Amino acid sequence: MNLKELSEKLGLSQTTVSRALNGYPEVKEATRLRVMEAARQFNYSPNKRAMGLATGKSMTIGHVIPTSTQHEMVNPVFGDFVAGSLEVYSQRGYDMLFSAVPDEDEAQTYRNMQRKGSVDGLVLQGPQVNDARIGILRELGMPFVVHGRSSGVSDPYSWIDVNNKRSFQRATEFLLDLGHRRIALINGLESMDFAQRRRDGYLVALHERGIATDPELMRSSEMTEVYGHHETRDMLQLDDPPTAILASSLISAIGVRRAIDEAGLVMGRDVSVITHDDELSYLKNGQDVPIFTATRSSVRDAGRHCAAMLIDQINNPTDDAKFELLEAELVVGRSTGPAPQG
Amino acid sequence: MNLKELSEKLGLSQTTVSRALNGYPEVKEATRLRVMEAARQFNYSPNKRAMGLATGKSMTIGHVIPTSTQHEMVNPVFGDFVAGSLEVYSQRGYDMLFSAVPDEDEAQTYRNMQRKGSVDGLVLQGPQVNDARIGILRELGMPFVVHGRSSGVSDPYSWIDVNNKRSFQRATEFLLDLGHRRIALINGLESMDFAQRRRDGYLVALHERGIATDPELMRSSEMTEVYGHHETRDMLQLDDPPTAILASSLISAIGVRRAIDEAGLVMGRDVSVITHDDELSYLKNGQDVPIFTATRSSVRDAGRHCAAMLIDQINNPTDDAKFELLEAELVVGRSTGPAPQG
DNA sequence: AGCGCCATCCAAAGCGCTTTGAATAATGCG
DNA sequence: CGCATTATTCAAAGCGCTTTGGATGGCGCT
């Protein structure tokens, strides 16, 4: 059933039916009711493509899946972020379109997306330091919001991010207060913006207390369980091993714990661990008492905010770039304790 | 730049340009080359919506995200499955569209999707026992492939699944061979089809060896880390605790291990653990030596196969329903050992 | 009665593409 | 050389919707 058929059935013009359905005022209320009823009865719903062609809007938002082709790794955060965004999208009548972007011609892909008219806006995930994509998108004039920020990009753009620097600074201070002096950082890939900010926070905290930094204690890679395990095992074998570890994600923290266990040590007593916790739905940080002391910030919530922000921007294209900085909460769990007397 | 502009620039009709670009034979080769070159130069790419309107195809495949609204949980497998599908989609020129389906009017949502013409086919994830969605989709005549199966649905439909029954039967036999008699099953939600099949395999194995089953040792819920931990802790406190545990996913297995550790026991010695391993990119089961003994089957690979299958079906709508049963591999790691002498 | 003004409704154009049905140019053959 | 073919190209219709620019008729008012 399409508009034409429906309007014929009603003995009205397509114009009137269309207007009745879309809430325009130039339709008698009685007529509108009649139309709505018929639409329901005949199970009519407009063809999105045709609608898009006519209006120039697609009511679709594009997400570009950050498939770091290097390691073929999907960010574990992905699912929950998407779920959060989707809540908002579906509520506001938007669909969500995915594309995998081959690293090579990313710019081209964006251009195509726009020209093809398949999306009204884009969400950029996993921004790197000095991320070139932001410039491209700005140039194209396509509304977009970045999940995260990109140091080095001076042009304004909309973003939503966790205060990574502050949260890792605080976490480090917390460990320092507990008497730890050998504090390791198991960070994400250094090319990722969030990793840099976390490192900054970590370094600032150490610096303010006059603690020398040790390159041996700063590791960075993709945040898998195996990686957390590997680096921890390695560091625990140092002459002067760390008494505390800052991990970039719960996933890698689990690897950290495994390595601690294997070394015959006890987490929270021999080695303290703090991790960032994105509150993934399938990997909660314990139930009542947190397993890990953690900097906590819901990525699902970030997805919601990001979606809302983007839709706003689509509806008010002339507005200035907006941003939102979410503060992570420091929750104290069982993985931290006073530094062992050495 | 659109078709009209491009054709004017070339001094050709839209028809010819369109045909040249789409590889139709009734165009002089020289002309085709000229057109292609101009298209490249002016950075032309066709508007997808218009194309869709004209052809009736959207070159888009819909995924319905299984947001079990009950617990707001996103399946951890989601990201990798999507990544796998996306590889194939983008290679074959398809986009991927997401919708969250509010549990209530699922049927309605599917109908809309079809009528709106937003997708050419659908992937159904997380099928339950006797899943009503399959009937709806069949009725609508929209091509679809189920990731998993649904016991109780007698009409034919296309699916791709892991041989869950067999793999859990084998895993159970493996434990029996090691001398275990108290074997627990920490399963997914019983309403999910895969959980039932795994339980079946588990029960058959026990039955064939004449081992009585104990309801106390069979747990089922959503497969989170916390859940694995909780159930294990609970079971280890039984008068006659299990000496081996079969876990439904690596995530919950990690919780199992945590509970074992906390109880002061050693995994692989005091309690053996086997888990199913989907080979998630961010959560590999160890590097060289597997951490857990596991039934292994790549969900990313399943995503690829599923996508290919669906596209085939879209292109050959009259073909019979197809299916593919993937066998999981049993890899032996460090989490299993002979049953302790009690 | 005659006028302007709304309130309603409609015909038709247009969004950017594909495709049908024809026209035109080029070619082959007797 | 003339005609039937075949190779190229084109004009126009159509996909299903929105939206512009009128129509139409009823109303209050002078």
Q: Both A292 and A178 in a single domain?
A: yes
Short-list B124, B154, B160, CA closest to B142: B124
CA distance B80 to A73: 8
Of the listed ranges A112-116, A292-296, B18-22, B23-27, the least confidently predicted one is: A112-116
Nucleotides of D under 7 A from a protein CB: 7-21
Q: Both A126 and A171 in a single domain?
A: no
CA distance A169 to A219: 17
Considering only CA atoms, name the residue closest to the C1' of nucleotide C13: A54
Short-list B5, B42, B44, CA closest to B22: B44
Q: Both B280 and B317 in a single domain?
A: no
Residue A17 domain flag? yes
| pLDDT tens by residue, A132-182 | 889 988 988 899 999 999 999 999 999 999 999 999 999 999 999 999 999
* Contact status, residue A155 vs residue A141, Cβ threshold 8 Å: no
User: What is the rounded end-to-end Cα distance, in angstroms, of chain A?
Assistant: 78
Burial of B147 from C-beta contacts in 10 A (0-12 / 13-18 / 19+): buried
Which pLDDT does position A339 carry in this prediction? 96
Q: Both A289 and A320 in a single domain?
A: no
The domain in which residue A9 lies consists of 3-46
Residue A340 domain flag? no
* Non-local CB neighbours of B183 within 8 Å, separated by 6+ positions: B172, B175, B176, B202, B206, B211, B217, B242, B243, B244, B245, B246
Q: pLDDT 10s digit of each residue in chain B, 342 long? A: 899 999 999 999 999 999 999 999 889 999 999 999 999 999 898 999 999 999 999 999 999 876 555 556 788 898 899 999 999 998 898 999 987 766 666 777 777 777 777 899 999 998 999 998 899 889 888 999 999 999 999 999 999 999 999 999 999 999 999 999 999 999 999 999 999 999 999 999 999 999 999 999 999 999 999 999 999 999 999 999 999 999 999 999 999 999 999 999 999 999 999 999 999 998 999 888 899 999 999 999 999 999 999 999 999 988 999 999 999 999 999 999 999 986
pLDDT above 70 (res A219)? yes
Residue A273 domain flag? yes
* Contact status, residue A245 vs residue A94, Cβ threshold 8 Å: no
Residue A334 domain flag? no
Q: Both B175 and B145 in a single domain?
A: no
CA distance B142 to B153: 17
Question: B185 in helix, strand or coil?
Answer: strand
Nucleotide with C1' nearest the B55 CA: C18
CA distance B153 to A207: 65
Q: Both A176 and A254 in a single domain?
A: yes
For chain B, the residue count is: 342
Strands A95-100 and B95-100: antiparallel
Which whole-number Å values give the CA distances from A285 to A139, A327, A331, B116, in the listed order?
41, 18, 10, 41
Q: Both A292 and A303 in a single domain?
A: no
Interface test with A, best of B98, B231, B288 (most A CBs within 10 A): B98
Q: Both A117 and A155 in a single domain?
A: yes
Tokens at B235, concatenated: 């079971």
Q: Both A70 and A101 in a single domain?
A: yes
Residue A71 domain flag? yes
* Contact status, residue A250 vs residue A275, Cβ threshold 8 Å: yes
B115 contact residues in A (CB cutoff 8 A):
1, 43-45, 47
Q: Both A307 and A273 in a single domain?
A: no
Question: B220 in helix, strand or coil?
Answer: strand
- What is the domain count for chain A? 3
**CB of A31 under 7 A from strand C?**
yes
In whole angstroms, C16 C1' to B53 CA is 9
Tokens at A108, concatenated: 């081209």
Per DSSP, the residues of A102-136 read -STTHHHHHHHHHHTT--SEEEEES-BTT-HHHHH
Which residue's entry shows tokens 């109880």?
B263
CA distance B281 to B134: 30
A111 contact residues in B (CB cutoff 8 A):
43, 45
In whole angstroms, D4 C1' to B56 CA is 38
Residue B51 domain flag? no
Which pLDDT does position B206 carry in this prediction? 98
Find the CATH number of the domain harbouring A40. 1.10.260.40
Which pLDDT does position B45 carry in this prediction? 87
Phi, psi of B12 (to 5 degrees): -125, 170
Nearest to A45 among B79, B116, B223 (CB): B116
Which residue's entry shows tokens 């916390």?
B226
| pLDDT tens by residue, A298-339 | 999 999 999 999 999 999 988 999 999 999 999 999 999 999
Which residue's entry shows tokens 């996103």?
B74
Q: Which amino acid makes up residue A25?
A: P
In whole angstroms, C11 C1' to A28 CA is 19
Q: Both A85 and A231 in a single domain?
A: no
Q: Both A196 and A138 in a single domain?
A: no
Nucleotides of C under 7 A from a protein CB: 7-21
Residue A51 domain flag? no
Residue B336 domain flag? no
For chain A, the residue count is: 342
Find the CATH number of the domain harbouring A270. 3.40.50.2300
Question: A268 in helix, strand or coil?
Answer: coil
Q: Number of residue pairs across A and B with CB atoms under 8 Å?
A: 176
CA distance B107 to B188: 25
* Contact status, residue A331 vs residue A294, Cβ threshold 8 Å: yes
Short-list B64, B204, B205, B227, CA closest to B142: B64
